[in-house]
Structure 1
């Protein structure tokens, strides 16, 4: 059933112009044609939002799935379970999408599966090659068994993984996307600027963890995501505990927040009192490594080349042969997006790609320090998006 517009006085507004969403779908369509794919079947919030602008609280519900089908011609159809969800889709999309309701009770995904099967059949795709979010870094609403149900209902359908295509389509950000990322970074910078005023008086890591989240919301974030507040003597990314924040301790804070769905993710390190000379030295070496990695970012460079710069800098500044995992990652509508900055990745950097530069370094006594800044690849090199961390460990 095709859904028609309704008269709502205070409608939500799309985050980008209709032409930008059309260009995104055309970019995906070109990739489909090059890979022999007839359509995309999408069932995740980020991809739906990226290609149509559709936002909804229904993504939290596993029994009221939302689907987006994009054909190799660039035509888009949103499938919703209820009329109210279709109304939301009308308000948040910028046009160019057909919106249909498949119905259902809200406690069973079977109507949604039937809706997808019927729409694929109506589009002549029941014998086609359709790519879905089946691979790396994708977590659709549907379970693996639900996708098997689609295969069983359409035995001639070739349902393949579309992860590589989707990440290629989303890798380079538009000016508007980067502006939202800049805004999220500005919110996070404001939060970090306030930390020296209260961290020394915080009762515990838990209290600091809560304050970080409240501050980014107060300063204008749409949402907060991953956060970590912990003493650097503890495992990195441990989140928080009820440990008191002790005098002369060094505290690592990693915070994320989003604006219009686009994320900022960077970390800062604070000394509450006087840190050891060992930690001060480790921090300065890490600051230098971070700078060298940032300066390696340029269009035409490969991910492996950027990684290798960070590795060589670590070897030279520490006199050791480090064991490095990734030293950063891409970011956008999701906090961690491919490609990761790692040794095996050969992806070529292009203008508009946004990265979190994230090397780490262990002190001689075993404390782990992690630096993180954000950059965008430009036509001539890079632009540092974050306000660079202080060169020396900040004492408060």
Structure 2
């Protein structure tokens, strides 16, 4: 078990000791990882993949497909702490090895969850359930639970527990951010008229992989296409005067990056400069304002107000940032909907994008960790409107 896995389990079980329930049923991939230290490759590939983890003060049980049992044991879990479902065959030189015996024990995840609960809880106890992670399975799971087991929705509780990061988590977030920035810098070094968005996206991806990251989204758009937010890179060739927008992220050991930068092919026009200066001022205002106790809604208001005062009005946004960690978007979101006060140790992406169809788009997005005195940037590359010689 790694130090990071141990620290996250300790954080979760400590929070469980103060919670109004006796056990926590994790279901989303991020929450299962937090509870067990196991990340399923299949879970990243197949939408229908299902897992869960039941956490109690006496231990944790992983509920998973039989195909995950071998990798889960390799990751440090004990065979006795697995409840498996489905059919998959591991052969073994040791006939008593756990994975060879777990096939066909349960038809589906609902039955397996029931067994895990029966093993660890008794009537009268209460489970906090990751209802959001179960998606449409929650009614079936609730109906299958043993008699006398109470339940409460603990989805928000789980995200709150994860919100304040450990030092190990912050190190991984910083590494993921550095790989995203390195990819952007390598792409900028290759950018010139005639080069395509796809070619630049390849440079970004190569840098991420070479550094040990797994690319998750590589948005490289140019010219009028730069206004298309999350569009895939195309075969469009760069031209003199184009805006070139990057919004890229990768995963390192389960932790995400999300970094945005903007460049111009050749010297920027006065309008490009004016608009970018306004959105950069909005992001900088967030950095200047942030400290523990400030609400996410206040951070949103500061960003929008500053962009408009700086000369880009109206500036309409649904959010100006989001938490980031083992999910790319974690609460609280920097939006009018979240009055959540920020805490030291929380990690965020602050961003102030602008998209105008028919003209172009631009953005600046950085990763920060909230500290007792304000913030620390986990991104370090040039945040200005970059000029690519043409």
TM-score by length of 1: 0.84
Query: Could you tell me whether the CA contact under 8 Å between 2:229 and 2:355 is conserved in 1?
Result: no
Q: What's the counterpart of residue 53 of structure 2?
A: 68
Query: Could you tell me whether the CA contact under 8 Å between 1:293 and 1:306 is conserved in 2?
Result: yes
- The CA deviation at 1:316 is 1.2
Q: What's the counterpart of residue 173 of structure 2?
A: 181
C-alpha change, 1:390 and 1:29, in structure 2 (3 Å) is closer
C-alpha change, 1:154 and 1:364, in structure 2 (3 Å) is closer
Equivalents in 1 of 2:58, 2:116: separation in Å?
16
- The CA deviation at 1:97 is 9.7
C-alpha change, 1:78 and 1:154, in structure 2 (3 Å) is closer
Which runs of structure 2 are paired with 1:139-178 in the superposition (5 Å)? 140=134, 144=136, 146-154=137-145, 156=147, 157-178=149-170
C-alpha change, 1:345 and 1:191, in structure 2 (3 Å) is same
Give the number of equivalent residue pairs.
370
Superposed CA deviations along residues 193-229 of structure 1, whole A, max 9, x for unmatched, are 21222122664222322332222112331x1112211
Q: 1:27 aligns with which of 14, 35, 52?
A: 14
Query: Could you tell me whether the CA contact under 8 Å between 1:75 and 1:97 is conserved in 2?
Result: no
C-alpha change, 1:21 and 1:96, in structure 2 (3 Å) is farther
Q: What's the counterpart of residue 192 of structure 1?
A: 184
Equivalents in 1 of 2:108, 2:378: separation in Å?
45
Query: Could you tell me whether the CA contact under 8 Å between 1:28 and 1:165 is conserved in 2?
Result: no
Q: 1:112 aligns with which of 94, 109, 114?
A: 109
- The CA deviation at 1:366 is 4.7
Secondary structure of the residue that 1:240 maps to in structure 2? Answer: coil
C-alpha change, 1:332 and 1:232, in structure 2 (3 Å) is farther
Query: Could you tell me whether the CA contact under 8 Å between 1:18 and 1:96 is conserved in 2?
Result: no
Query: Could you tell me whether the CA contact under 8 Å between 1:356 and 1:374 is conserved in 2?
Result: yes
Q: What's the counterpart of residue 212 of structure 2?
A: 220
Q: What's the counterpart of residue 230 of structure 1?
A: 221
Q: 1:386 aligns with which of 365, 379, 388?
A: 379
C-alpha change, 1:195 and 1:15, in structure 2 (3 Å) is farther
Q: What's the counterpart of residue 90 of structure 1?
A: 73
Equivalents in 1 of 2:280, 2:59: separation in Å?
48
C-alpha change, 1:331 and 1:319, in structure 2 (3 Å) is closer
Equivalents in 1 of 2:367, 2:49: separation in Å?
36
Q: CA RMSD in A?
A: 2.8
Which runs of structure 2 are paired with 1:1-396 in the superposition (5 Å)? 14-17=1-4, 19-31=6-18, 33=19, 36-59=20-43, 60-61=45-46, 65-71=50-56, 73=57, 75-82=59-66, 85-93=68-76, 99-106=81-88, 110-125=107-122, 128-135=125-132, 138=133, 140=134, 144=136, 146-154=137-145, 156=147, 157-200=149-192, 203-221=195-213, 223-231=214-222, 233-234=224-225, 235-318=228-311, 320-361=313-354, 366-396=359-389
Greater shift, 236-245 or 104-113, is seen at 104-113
Give structure 2 stretches of 5+ with no counterpart: 89-102
Superposed CA deviations along residues 253-306 of structure 1, whole A, max 9, x for unmatched, are 111012111111111112122332211221122222211111111112111221
Equivalents in 1 of 2:295, 2:360: separation in Å?
31
